[in-house]
Amino acid sequence: MRCLLFILTLFFVQIVVAQKKDTAAVLAAVQKLEKALIGKDSATLNVLLHKDVAFGHSSGWVQTKKNVVDDMMSGFLDYKKIDETSVSIDVSKEKAIVKERVSVSGVRDGNAFELNLFIMQIWLQNKKGWQLFARQSTKL
Burial class (CB in 10 A: 0-12, 13-18, 19+), 93: exposed
- Kindly give, in sequence order, each residue whose CB lies less than 8 Å from that of residue 41, ignoring residues fewer than 6 positions away: 35
pLDDT of residue 18: 43
Give the residues of the chain that fall short of pLDDT 50: 4-19
**Residue 103, Ramachandran bin (φ over 0: left; ψ between -120 and 50: alpha; else beta):** beta
Rg (CA), the chain: 18
Q: What residue type is assigned to position 52 of the chain?
A: D
Q: How many residues does the structure list for the chain?
A: 140
Tell me if 95 sits within 8 A of 72, measured CB to CB.
Answer: no
Helix residue ranges per DSSP H, 1-140: 2-39, 42-48, 65-74
Each residue of 125-134: b (16+ CB within 10 Å) or e? beeeebbbbb
pLDDT of residue 93: 82
Q: Which domains, from first to last, does the chain contain?
A: 2-139 (3.10.450.50)
- Kindly give, in sequence order, each residue whose CB lies less than 8 Å from that of residue 114, ignoring residues fewer than 6 positions away: 103, 104, 105
- Residue 89 CA to residue 103 CA, distance in Å, equals 18
- Kindly give, in sequence order, each residue whose CB lies less than 8 Å from that of residue 46, ignoring residues fewer than 6 positions away: 65, 69
